[in-house]
Amino acid sequence: MASGFFALLDDVAALMDDVVVMSKISTKKTAGILGDDLAVNAEKATGFVASRELPVLWAITKGSALNKIIILPVAFLLSAFLPIAITIALVLGGIYLAYEGAEKIYEYFFHKKQKVEPKEDIINEYNLTKEELLLSEKKKIKSAIFTDFILSVEIVIIALGTVLQEPLLNQILVVTIVCIIATVGVYGIVALLVRMDDFGYKLVKIGNGKGFLHSVGNFLIRALPLIIKSLAVIGTIALLLVAGGVFVHHIEFVHHLVENINLPSFLIEFSVGLVVGIMAVILMQIIKPIFKRGKTKK
């Protein structure tokens, strides 16, 4: 009886070792999405009254957790009964990621000089009543949760794609761990970022216009927008890397096309992601005017 119990413990320990190793691999594969998720949510969580930043972020975090609770069972059912759907979704997600990354590069080079008019809701925000401010806040929270839903689907699909050949229990444990890391890790870092400038202002006040604390406070205040911009750049590069990795490892034609190229794998994956992204951007530039004309005729 005792030997059977210890054998069971040994099996559980072996299972958890496997799960930890696979979780590390899956987390690396989803790093690009996590970087983009972090950049997007840091941007969406800023711009609120200081006293409302953390409550707003907590509301978005709860929405993100609910998103993953909805997505995970659907993904596991597809993995169990229609695994080909996961591969198809993975490739489609890769195309979306490549498009998103290439579109950001396109926007930077071709639209950065365009003057961006401030949005009406930002202009009038200080003239709103308390009820109107709460309504505006709820609207922004809903927008952030919807964006998180799209990114969560990508995270789940890519994480699941790394363990498709594993037993279902391993898939469930690994992908669930990745989702917990994605939610707690991303929103924990965002919480630190959105409060960084407030902490800087406090240090400046304590420093009374001079000394070490004043310098550190100024550094934190000035660093926040630079950090958010840096995250956006890193996220864009990572999106193309992840997308390229999906195509190289899951589309046989692409794999054979690049297998004899004597370059580091990350350069090959980035290049493949960028090429597919550029093609997707060009296609969308052709389709959008046609779609708009069709709507105008109606």
The domains of the chain are located at 18-297
Residue 29, exposed/middle/buried by CB under 10 A (0-12, 13-18, 19+)? buried
Contact 41, 186 (CB under 8 A): yes
* pLDDT at residue 276 greater than cutoff 90: yes
d(CA 173, CA 177): 6
pLDDT value of residue 120: 42
Give me the mean pLDDT over the 96-109 stretch: 87
Which has the minimum average pLDDT: 27-41, 59-73, 284-298?
27-41
- Whose structure tokens read 């229609």? 82
Identify which has the larger pLDDT, 15 or 260.
Answer: 260
More confident position, 289 or 17? 289
100 CB-near residues (< 8 Å, 6+ apart): 36, 239, 277
At which residue do the structure tokens 């794998």 appear?
265
* pLDDT tens per residue across span 217-250: 888 888 878 887 787 787 788 788 888 888 988 8
Could you tell me which residue, 59 or 224, shows the higher pLDDT? Answer: 59
193-208 pLDDT, tens digit per residue, is 877 877 888 888 887 7
Please determine, for residue 279, whether its predicted confidence score (pLDDT) is greater than 90.
yes
End-to-end CA distance of the chain: 75
User: Are 4 and 213 a contacting pair, CB within 8 Å?
Assistant: no
Mean pLDDT of the chain: 77
Listed ranges 127-136, 147-156, 159-168, 281-290; the one with the highest mean pLDDT: 281-290
Asked whether the CA dihedral 99, 104, 106, 111 is positive or negative, the reply is positive
